[in-house]
Every structure is written in C-alpha cells, then in structure tokens.
Amino acid sequence: MSNGLCLVLTLCISFAALTAQAERDASRDQFRHPAETIEFFGLTPEMDVVEITPGGGWYTEILADYVTGTLFAAHFNPESKGDYYRNSRKRFEKKIAANPVLYGNVELHTFDISVNLLTTPANSADALVTFRNVHNWLRSNNEAAAFELFYKTLKPGGVLGVVEHRAVPGTARETMLSSGYMTQDYVIELAERAGFVLEASAEINANPKDSADHPKGVWTLPPNLRLGAQDRDKYLAIGESDRMTLRFRKSKE
C-alpha cells in the first residue's frame, strides 16, 4: 500500500472518529477535499503547523485531530478596531475551550497583516497552511508582506500550502479585490517574491462549473449564498468556488 493511500485511509478513519466526537461538518468535504489536500501539502502528524486565519475553525477541527505536534492557530487580532474580527476571535476561542481533548495541541496566536503582525516565532513551524484567505489581504495592500511573514515563521525547508479562489488569467487587481477570486499567477508571484519555491500545483479543489463571474463575487456561491433565495438552486448546483491548490517550499539554507 502506498504512503499516500495510507494517509488518506488514516485521515478517513480519523475524520469518522472526529465526526462522532465533535459532530464535525463534513458536508463541505465534497468541495474542500481535506484528506487529499493534506496529503498533497505533505503534512505528517508529528509536524508543528501554523494555520493562518482559521475563521470558524472548519479546518482547525481536522488539523487538530490529525496533527500530534503543535497546531498554531493564528487568528484575528483580539485588539482589532473591527467588531467582526474581535467577535470572530472570541467565538473561535470559545470553540477551542469547549473541547480540550480535541484541541489540546492548539496554541492560539495572532495574524493581523494590517499591522504586519504574526506572533508565531521565527523558524518555529514545519508547515504553514492557509485556506481561502489571500484575497482578504489585498484590502490593506499588504498581501506581499503576508508571505514574507510566512517565510520568516517557517523552519528552513518548511512547507507553505495555499488554497485560494481562482480567477481567470489576466483578471485585474480591482476585480480580484471586489470578487474574492485571485489569479493563480499572482499568488505564485507573491510567494516567490517572498523567497518560496513552487513545488507543485494540484486540481484537487478545482470546480469547472464555476465561472468565477457572479453578481456578489465568490460570496454568491455556497456556503455564503449572498443573494439569498435569488437563483439559489443555480448556485447550489455550481457548488463552492473553483480553487487553486499550491505547495511551496522554503529554502533549507
């Protein structure tokens, strides 16, 4: 049996146990392919892993169950001026505190690119992952600085894994900002500019049904369904966004 298949089977068994334990929302697995994505990133249980902006913690549940090393959850700034960010952080902290068995290896940290802050120590992590977040950093024009912080916190030879909504090639920056879709070339450029080397890309999270051109951007699609009842069945049939899945490596030197 190949190592890859062993990992997928291990994750499937683990996910089943997790679902029974914490009622994990597995309905998104058909769009997010967590087992295949974790395998592609090359994550192994003993690694120390940073998750950037975990939001409600959908992936945190999976990673905390899989990783036996430390899972650094770099969430929103608790001192942010925005209510949304502070409240999201509080909900996440409550979620972690409610299940100390599952989240016993989770260490809370802060990522706030508006003030160029990532509190995980330099050279402290074997891997860093971020899911559907790059578009958010355009708002403060600090997307390049984010990747520089990621490079700094990873150990030499560390892995950067990125999943992001994918725009059609040549999409203008203003459209990326308003739509939530990023061009794959630009995400690769950001990582390479920070010093990372692109090792591989995968179509694990691709969705050919998604045109990436919707009235309310990526938020038109599930799970947001920003248009409410309007054309709901149409957008449910499309499913979640078309996504790039990229693996980068920090130099070992």
103 vs 10, more confident: 103
Structure tokens at 223: 């799970």
Picking from 9-13, 45-49, 112-116, 130-134, which range would have the lowest pLDDT averaged per residue? 9-13
pLDDT tens-digit series, residues 92-139: 999 999 999 999 999 999 999 999 999 999 999 999 999 999 999 998
Average pLDDT over residues 147-168: 98
DSSP string, the chain: --HHHHHHHHHHHHHHHHHHHH---GGGHHHH-HHHHHHHHT--TTS-EEEE--TT-HHHHHHHHH-SS-EEEEE--TT-S-HHHHHHHHHHHHHHHT-TTTTTTEEEEEEEGGGTEE-SPTT-EEEEEEES-GGGGGGGT-HHHHHHHHHHHEEEEEEEEEEEEBPPTT--HHHHHHHS-B-HHHHHHHHHHTT-EEEEEE-TT--TT--S--TTGGGGSTTT-TTTTTTHHHHHHH-SPPEEEEEEE----
8-12 average pLDDT score: 50
Q: Which fold has domain 3-249?
A: Rossmann fold (3.40.50)
Per the CB < 8 A criterion, the answer to whether 109 and 89 are in contact is no
The one-letter amino acid code at 222 reads P
Give percent above pLDDT 90 in the chain.
88
pLDDT at 18 over 50: no
Q: How far is CA 186 from CA 16, 78, 166, 172, 234, in A?
A: 37, 30, 10, 10, 29
CB 118 within 8 A of CB 51: no
Q: What's the confidence (pLDDT) of residue 1? A: 39
**211 pLDDT more than 70:** yes
CA 79 – CA 126 distance, rounded (Å): 28
- In this predicted structure, the answer to whether residue 7 has a pLDDT above a threshold of 60 is no
Whole-angstrom distance, CA of residue 214 vs CA of residue 77:
31
Region 159-184: mean pLDDT is 98
Whether residue 4 is predicted with pLDDT greater than 90 in this model: the reply is no
CB 243 within 8 A of CB 207: yes
Mean pLDDT of 151-169: 98
pLDDT of residue 11: 55
Q: Is the pLDDT of residue 146 over 90?
A: yes
What single string gives the DSSP state of each residue in 131-144? ES-GGGGGGGT-HH
pLDDT reading at 22 higher than 80: no
The confidence band for 5, taking pLDDT boundaries of 50, 70 and 90, is very low
* CB atoms closer than 10 angstroms to residue 112: 20
Model confidence at 72: pLDDT above 60? yes
Least confident of 23-32, 39-48, 188-197, 230-239: 23-32
- Specify whether the CB–CB gap between 67 and 128 falls below 8 A: no
pLDDT at position 14 = 52
pTM of the model: 0.91
Please give the pLDDT value at position 19: 41
With 80 as the cut, is the pLDDT of residue 246 above it? yes
* Cα–Cα distance measured from residue 168 to residue 244, given in angstroms and rounded to the nearest whole number: 11
Instruction: State yes or no: pLDDT of 6 exceeds 70.
Output: no
